[in-house]
Amino acid sequence: MPAASLPEKQILNGNSKSAKDFDVDDVLKRLTTPEKISLISGTDFWHTASVHRLGIPAIRTTDGPNGVRGTRFFDGVPAACLPCGTALAATWDVDLIRQGGELQGKEAIAKGASVILGPTTNMQRSPLGGRGFESFSEDPVLAGQMSIATVKGIQSTGVAATLKHYACNDLEDKRLSSNSIVTERALREIYLMPFQMAQRDAKPMCFMTAYNLVNGTHASESPKLLQQILRDEWGFDGMVMSDWFGVYSTSESIKAGLDLEMPGPTYVRGAQVDLALRCGKLLIHHIDARVKEVLKLVKRVMPLGIPEDAEERTIDSPETAALLRKLASESTVLMKNEKNVLPFSKEKTTAVIGPNGAFAAYCGGGSAALPAYYTVTPYEGVKAKVPNAEYELGVPAWKRMPLLSNMTKTEGGKQGLSMKFFLDPPSVKGRQPVDQLRVRDSYIHLSDYKHPRIATDLFWCDFDGKFTPSETAEYEFSCSVAGTAKVFVDGELVVDNMTKQRPGDSFFGIGTVEEIGSIHLEGGREYNVHVDFGTMPTLTYKKDGVTAFGAGGVRLGCYRKICFETEVARAVALAKKVDQVILCAGLNGDWESEGYDRPHMDLPPGSDELIKAVLAANPNTAVIIQSGTPVTMPWRDQAAALVQAWYGGNETGNAIADVVFGDVNPSGKLPLSFPVRNEDNPAFLNYVSDDNRVLYGEDVYVGYRFYDKTKRAPAFPFGHGLSYTTFSLSDLRITSEEDEDLLISLTVTNTGTFPGAEVVQAYISPRAPSIARPVKELKGFTKLFLAAGERGSAEIRIPRKYATSFYHEGRGAWASEKGVYDVLVGTSSAELPLRGEFDVRETTYWTGL
């Protein structure tokens, strides 16, 4: 059923039928013990429990962090997809990020949700993290400021934000059992700092615990993290929930401070809590403490007036599209622009080449993925400005084949596949479907599919579609599955992922590898594609250490069989005949996803060779890389123009075209150092769960801190980003008095011919520290938009104790050490032309915020 549209005014005001208010302490006294136990676990994948007799409604949570999916993985209501976390941080624009958070809050209300599971505040420790694209930065201050802005934006709408994943959840390998072994100093200065800053300045209503252990204790049952630091030291007054299926104990997690187990129905609490109460492992006051926090959250979001069974709606609008386009374009980083190759002219002949050119890599994979209102490919964005632009693939860069649903139509002529649900397998003659619908996307995840006649996770589905090839060729069909499946073309078996199955990394790690089969097809002829699918219980193997979600799923792909040499030759021929080339390469949500880490930093096979060949054929080429984390660029010296475009959300293609053709002057800055190769990054030797042990051997030297200390130059430094105009910085002034903020002010002048924006970055360097410290650390920044020739004043205000302190493990406190501190101000971690200083006259120690 298509989602209804909801006016924005109603989104902001909530539903008029709001539930009555209640007194938390009074309700707590009146609850029965079974009711209390029910409130500290979810009831299903997204909802908390209700107690209607006391006026306590159930509330709905929904996935973030770059958009609001709603309650359905399967056949979900479309949503606004924001750029990924690293892209958002690349804007270095807290006001813009706050607007993005506000949009998410409005989207949540439209989806009937009171709680957004985001932002992702974890640190970018290595380029290889599977969920690295979700996080903001390698630097805790930048990540902290982005988290603050996001939380403020979300909660300005009345919706609760959830900082996640607390803490040290920065790799996917054995994520349930990996033990992050980290010094107390690194834990405080790097991994907890962005959470601490967000609690200080934004007061999020919720925290979500990580899957992993931190120094020997799972985060979801760590008294140190949940009680001593979060609540006692930082003064957090909100609810702590688990990550989904991230609770591994009953009594321990409750006593530690974990309020809500998600999802439901409960598998750790429920009857186990009742037993723990009866045997004395838990006392009723332990339960009351957890229930109280759940009730407080319910009370805080009740003014939204969202009914329990709220219909999921959309608020797609021109205003939404404009904001998404601005977020994507402002996040785009101009890495190189020799001889002012960019911006391109709309009057010249133009080619778009590359695997990401006609493919919308708009978001990463896993729980961050969502069905977007629409997507725009780079080729579509370019053609809107240069209608005669031409395209060639060059090489495939997909890890899994393009979706079959992009090529098929249903019997009624609509894009996608028809899907029928059965209680019996295909071997049962005369079986009748219990449900049927059209699916627009052949990546089917049935974790939340429900039907009144289907009582278990065991059922079967048929998929059918019509496919008319555009040319005569060998075509490949693919299938990965959490269950079993067979793919037929005109009755001929092409892919068998049922008889013999191989474990892979699909479907959050529980599914099979992608099995591929090929068949010769004639161009212009219509073929019937049929798929037999059995759900998760039919899977023929068991895989330890991963979580199975409900009825499983299937992913179906198709594309003509590729010959690398032929495709590259076609791309080179096109490059030679046009004036300018936009070469779109990179990764996508199959390469970067929850559930697994990247094995290396390289682009997909063939991409580097394609880029080198096209650069040789036409030097007037702009290379556009889409990825959420750094990739190796062995051709970077040959590329005159290089753009990092991330995963840009709905408006990906338009934003890329806006920057390439100069309708937007790029102002993005790297939130990550881009190493020359993976072996150069500080976590290289330790970024693996080795016998469940993850040793944080780089200590506090994460990202640019490491490159500074070792005097090892990265390919592109943290904070780097060019513009079509130029800026000069001058007149640095520093005001610093004891017990007051550090105030840094300077003059910024746009010395070029384009209007544009510059990010002014302030780093602090202790001149004579008593312990080993990073050479410098980012402590503040601001972004100024200036017309050509305009001069403006920039101010950066930093709390003195945050500017100067390190964590003193011996004292268990922060130490603001006496001495002289240098203030280094510039436009990247490697370009700091202005220098000043200030004194701290006396060493002081502090805890808390």
Residues belonging to the active site: 243
Task: Report the candidate in 264, 287, 285 with the shortest Cα–Cα distance to residue 274.
Answer: 287
Tokens describing residue 264? 């439901």
* DSSP H/E element including 28: helix 24-30
User: What is the residue whose two structure tokens read 């400021």?
Assistant: 145
Q: Find out whether 116 and 693 touch, Cβ atoms under 8 Å.
A: no
**Measured between alpha carbons, how far apart are the two ends of the chain, in Å?**
48
Strands 435-439 and 527-534: unpaired
Cβ neighbourhood burial of 570 (10 Å; 0-12, 13-18, 19+): middle
Task: Report the candidate in 536, 498, 537 with the shortest Cα–Cα distance to residue 517.
Answer: 498
Counts of helices then strands in the chain (DSSP H, E): 19, 38
Written as one string, the DSSP assignment of 590-632 is TTSBTTB--S-SPPSTTHHHHHHHHHHH-SSEEEEEE-SS---
Tokens describing residue 344? 């391109």
Strands 390-392 and 350-353: parallel
Strands 460-467 and 417-422: antiparallel
Q: Find out whether 746 and 834 touch, Cβ atoms under 8 Å.
A: yes
Q: Find out whether 582 and 645 touch, Cβ atoms under 8 Å.
A: no
Max Cα distance, the chain (Å): 87
CA-to-CA distance for 98 and 101, rounded, in angstroms?
5
Q: Find out whether 638 and 336 touch, Cβ atoms under 8 Å.
A: no
Cβ-based neighbours of 503, under 8 Å, separated by 6 or more: 512, 513, 541, 543
Sheet-wide strand order for 742-750: 727-735, 742-750, 791-798
Q: Facing residues of 487 across strands?
A: 495, 531
CA-to-CA distance for 469 and 563, rounded, in angstroms?
17
Q: Is 221 helix (H, G, I), strand (E, B) or coil?
A: helix
Strands 805-808 and 742-750: unpaired
CA-to-CA distance for 459 and 554, rounded, in angstroms?
13
Tokens describing residue 635? 């051709």
CA-to-CA distance for 197 and 798, rounded, in angstroms?
12
Task: Report the candidate in 246, 303, 334, 319 with the shortest Cα–Cα distance to residue 42.
Answer: 246
Q: At what angle do helices 607-617 and 564-577 cross, to 10 degrees?
A: 30
Output b/e per residue, 544-558; b: 16+ Cβ within 10 A. Answer: eebebbbbbbbbbbb
Tokens describing residue 763? 């780093």
* DSSP H/E element including 102: helix 94-110
Task: Report the candidate in 799, 804, 729 with the shortest Cα–Cα distance to residue 764.
Answer: 804
Amino acid at 792: G
User: What is the residue whose two structure tokens read 């407080």?
Assistant: 296
Task: Report the candidate in 467, 587, 586 with the shortest Cα–Cα distance to residue 531.
Answer: 467
CA-to-CA distance for 120 and 255, rounded, in angstroms?
25
Q: Find out whether 536 and 548 touch, Cβ atoms under 8 Å.
A: yes
Q: Find out whether 242 and 220 touch, Cβ atoms under 8 Å.
A: yes
* DSSP H/E element including 334: strand 333-337
